[in-house]
Structure 1
Amino acid sequence: MTRTRQAAPRTTTRGATAPHAITPRAGEQARRALTVAAVGTVLALVAFTAPLATVGSVTAALGSDVAGRTWILSSMGIGLGAALLTAGTLADDRGRRRVLVGGLVVLAASSLVAALAGGTLVFVLARVGQGIGAAAVIAASLGLVAHWFEPGPARAAASGVWGASVGGGIALGPIVASAFERWASWRDTYVVLAVAALVLAAVARRRLDETRSHERRPLDALGATLLAVATTGFLAALVEGRSGWGRPEVLVLLGVGAVSAAAFVVTERRTSFPMVDLSLFRDGRFVAASAAALATGAGAIGLLSFLPGFLALALGLPPTTSAVLFLSWSGTSVVFALVARRLPAGWSGRAQLAGGLVVVAAGQLALSGITPGSSWARFLPGLVVAGVGSGVLNAALGREAVASVPPGRGGMGSGANNTARYLGSSVGVTLVAVVVAAHAVPGSGASGLVAGWNVAAWVTAGLSLVGAVVVWATTVTDRRRAADAVADPVH
């Protein structure tokens, strides 16, 4: 039986509050919310990963150069990074259903623009718009899960479903895009995505009750603006930096990002209603969840986002084969996100985060040692192992993101955690591209690409292990603080 939160009242679409008792109505709303949250997250991640399999066709149709290709692959991440935390805060304060529906509409409109784009600039701007819409969907969806499912087995199961939807979207994106490319057009991927997002928005608007935090706070507009400028400047610098880190535009973007980030910290310390309470960074559980999300992005997503392109360039595999091989990682993560709730009860959330990162690192190491003559089967063991770790991570991250923040701020927790994940992925993708490019010198052919891939696998495995160490360190620190508090109760 679905169990919903009992203590906190919920706000209905009419603004009235009612007890969050276990009633047939509440149970039905919980199931609807989880379904909409999962499907919405799948759509957001399909949009995110679709170009991985079709970037060649897209760049050819749009007449994109090398820089344009880079922006096509990276631009949605900029929209995500810039909007996730703000979207999560708005979801808590203004209404989770409202933000979710708005995000789906933005995702649909941007997808339609992408389908009709005649040039690189329009397509890139549409991808940024997709990122903004997807940010609202992802942040609000996890906020809905936190609201409707009480801590314990019910939330663990729901978080597993949400985590599986992350892996499912990542898995489906390249497969759906390559299928449309083969039998129709890459543009049809975005048309179908737009229609699906609009249908889901209509369902959510009609079938879900509105929910929000009981403490409605004013929007921290200055903080939201500074955060958006900081993340956009930083992520744009990472994209442009691949063409030369010393160029003036890259240095300006880095400077804008750094100054805006510093101003954001100052603003959040002084405002009465900060978008994110900086004191959370003294909480071991919040730091662990954020560090694990950052390491997940930089490690697993950073390396494996490069996989479809590497398979095509170095081994000559067609996009459809690459997409199916990609499924051995993302599909495995779906399965293990769903079964993660069956892990021993004694395994804390932080233990699952650290363990998941270690397993991912083992899979990444198994993906090294590739030669130009390697077959596609050589990648399977490492991808499956990495998928096991990613599944456990996706479920645990969803749960810890909302458990590490105050009650009623699940959207903010989701936004902060996923911001860390997508900032990490941007760093990881850039790092992998730089490492591979350093080895793939002119004339090196496939051997240069393979050598770069092998080094990148080791580097990103190291990032995953660093994340595991940070998570473990927060546990040790918290235990020491607790022991000190017992030994010296006066202070």
Structure 2
Amino acid sequence: MDATTPAQGRKAGAKEWLGLTVLALPTLVMSVDVTVLYLALPHLGADLQPSANQTLWIIDIFGFLLAGFLITMGTLGDRIGRRRLLMIGGAGFAVASLVAAYANSAEMLIAARALLGFFGATLMPSTLSLISNMFADSKQRAQAVAIWAACVSSGIAIGPPVGGLLLESFWWGSVFLLAVPVMVLLLVAAPFLLPEYKSPSAHKLDLVSVGLSLGSVIPVIWSVKELAEDGLHALPLAVLVAGLLLGVLFVRRQKRLTEPLLDVGLFRNSEFSATLLMLLVGVGVVGGVYLFISQYLQLIKDQGPMEAGLWMLPSAFVMMVTAAASPALVRWVRPGFLVGGGLAISATGYFMLLGVGADDGLSALVIAMIVLFSGLGPVFALGTDLVLGTAPPERSGSAAAMSETAMEFGISLGIALLGSIGAAVYRNNMEDAVPDGLPPEAAEAAVETLPGAMAVAADAPPEVGAPLAERAFAFFMDGFHASAVVCGITVGLFALVSFVLLRNARTKAQIDAEAPKADDESRDEPAPAAAR
């Protein structure tokens, strides 16, 4: 361990809090990138003219590589130094952002997005694990993690207005350039504000484990997306089985290694496993329903990207407040109850989305989103802190990687599964509702997606286009509401699970606060007779 790592229990000062700002900014930028790209797709589509399959790869390759390398990079940071890995990742992310911004073909953009996912995997676990080194005092660390979690979650919400502002003034590549000055600031400030940390027992990285990790994570995510979008088919089923088998081999190998890539022993702690599950579910379902909300605002309410994003800001602000307040609330409420209560509040918000209609105002949507996101604050803040708190300091890199992997898996699965539910409801209803007289190609486009139906309605005569658009809006809302019900039921059930499995969970701050009392009691006890 480097000498700059604070001693256990020492209060962090101005340097550490400034360092937290350096760590939070790239985290925020990466979260913003998630929603910015969706807004930029129409613009880059007109310029690069990617095929439908290439468009999907432009969206998905980032998440595939990010999830696939998170575990590897979290462990690599423990070995070569977390600050060093963070700076390597920051430099690589900046270069990849420049390549993406000035890509002149779909293939070039896909390759740049892949690089962004690879280098992004070095950033996320490094930022989180460095927090545990910089903030040795458990109360301060909990607050720092809450700020970090707020940046992760709020970045998704503030992406639309930021992206809308850029897209209204510049070309589509500007959304990627947003990361460049942030990464330059990281490279300049990191040597002065961030400590270095290496695991005292660092060993050579096991490349076989790396291969097995990638061979399990990436195929599973890809196959789940394919199965959700296209139904049961032989190829994705075979890929899913192959990925799961490689995952079994990966776990068995980790158990045999003295220095594993992933410390599977951490999962013996039921609180650790349950917290990862809460993060996966809580983040996953909100990632899926977010797609419906953004489409509702832009397609049905006909708002521009920036205007749509502004309607999402109140919920982002509320979530930041509840995330920041959660560490203090554990003085009076058990962490497991706060997490479970947060999930219960979010479940209520999902059910409130049933009151949002195609012809209604936006107040019902905004109120539902505020309730939904306010419940997510404790989940993000305390969930991540509980994950780090249950892991030994020398394995916090691996724990941080598992936390991030759970959230990335949640987002991928949530978008795929919830998106397929909404799409299935829409398609099943639209198949029998397309007006007569449309060409087969136009009818197929209208049945497939809401944007396709709107494009067909715009080109059709008014007596055909108007009823087509009205039916498409109604059926989209049916799919939206079906997904909201699934989210509400799922999150509600996991709220009950959290109350049970995390009822005795304690944060690191609570454990450290009780330690001196235990020591004092042991000193007050009379010495054993043999000692007298």
Shift of residue 344, structure 1, vs aligned partner: 4.3
Residue 257 of structure 2 aligns with which residue?
Answer: 271
User: Residue 11 of structure 1 aligns to which amino acid in structure 2?
Assistant: D
Task: Classify 1:342/1:151 alpha carbon distance in 2 versus 1 (closer, same or farther; 3 Å).
Answer: same
Residue 200 of structure 2 aligns with which residue?
Answer: 214
Distance 2:235 2:307 in 1: 38
Residue 227 of structure 1 aligns with which residue?
Answer: 213
Corresponding residue to 2:363 among 377, 380, 389: 377
If the length of structure 2 is used for normalisation, what is the TM-score?
0.81
Task: Classify 1:33/1:207 alpha carbon distance in 2 versus 1 (closer, same or farther; 3 Å).
Answer: closer
Distance 1:245 1:62 in 2: 30
Farther-moved stretch of structure 1 (442-451 vs 286-295): 442-451
User: Residue 55 of structure 1 aligns to which amino acid in structure 2?
Assistant: L
Distance 1:124 1:42 in 2: 22
Corresponding residue to 2:500 among 443, 448, 473: 473
Task: Classify 1:133/1:437 alpha carbon distance in 2 versus 1 (closer, same or farther; 3 Å).
Answer: same
Shift of residue 205, structure 1, vs aligned partner: 3.5
Q: Is 1:77 aligned to 2:63, yes or no?
A: yes
Distance 1:345 1:287 in 2: 23
User: Residue 413 of structure 1 aligns to which amino acid in structure 2?
Assistant: A
Corresponding residue to 2:348 among 345, 348, 362: 362
User: Residue 448 of structure 1 aligns to which amino acid in structure 2?
Assistant: F
Matches within 5 A, 1:386-465: 386-441=372-427, 442=430, 443=434, 444-465=471-492
Residue 316 of structure 1 aligns with which residue?
Answer: 302
Residue 460 of structure 2 aligns with which residue?
Answer: none
Matches within 5 A, 1:237-252: 237-252=223-238
Shift of residue 29, structure 1, vs aligned partner: 4.1
Residue 158 of structure 1 aligns with which residue?
Answer: 144
Corresponding residue to 1:139 among 118, 121, 125: 125
Shift of residue 206, structure 1, vs aligned partner: 4.5
Shift of residue 248, structure 1, vs aligned partner: 4.5
Matches within 5 A, 1:23-172: 27-172=13-158
Q: Which runs of 5+ in 2 are unaligned?
A: 435-470, 507-532
Shift of residue 43, structure 1, vs aligned partner: 1.8
Shift of residue 308, structure 1, vs aligned partner: 1.1
Distance 1:344 1:308 in 2: 34
Task: Classify 1:191/1:255 alpha carbon distance in 2 versus 1 (closer, same or farther; 3 Å).
Answer: same
Distance 2:336 2:23 in 1: 24
Task: Classify 1:477/1:286 alpha carbon distance in 2 versus 1 (closer, same or farther; 3 Å).
Answer: same
Farther-moved stretch of structure 1 (91-100 vs 331-340): 331-340
8 Å CA contact 2:229, 2:420 repeated in 1: no
Residue 203 of structure 1 aligns with which residue?
Answer: 189
Distance 1:343 1:97 in 2: 32
8 Å CA contact 1:285, 1:350 repeated in 2: no
Deviation track 1:242-262 (CA, whole Å, cap 9, x = no partner) reads 552344542343233222212
8 Å CA contact 2:10, 2:136 repeated in 1: no
8 Å CA contact 2:276, 2:406 repeated in 1: yes
Distance 1:319 1:102 in 2: 33
Shift of residue 477, structure 1, vs aligned partner: 9.0
Shift of residue 451, structure 1, vs aligned partner: 0.4
- The alignment yields a C-alpha RMSD, in angstroms, of 2.4
Aligned pair count? 465
Distance 1:208 1:258 in 2: 38
Distance 1:437 1:22 in 2: 53
Deviation track 1:321-343 (CA, whole Å, cap 9, x = no partner) reads 22112223323212222222231
User: Per the alignment, in what secondary structure is the counterpart of residue 51 of structure 1?
Assistant: helix
Shift of residue 62, structure 1, vs aligned partner: 2.5
Farther-moved stretch of structure 1 (145-154 vs 67-76): 67-76
Distance 1:365 1:128 in 2: 37
Shift of residue 22, structure 1, vs aligned partner: 4.0
If the length of structure 1 is used for normalisation, what is the TM-score?
0.88
Larger radius of gyration: 2
Farther-moved stretch of structure 1 (148-157 vs 406-415): 148-157
Task: Classify 1:159/1:466 alpha carbon distance in 2 versus 1 (closer, same or farther; 3 Å).
Answer: same
Distance 1:345 1:19 in 2: 24
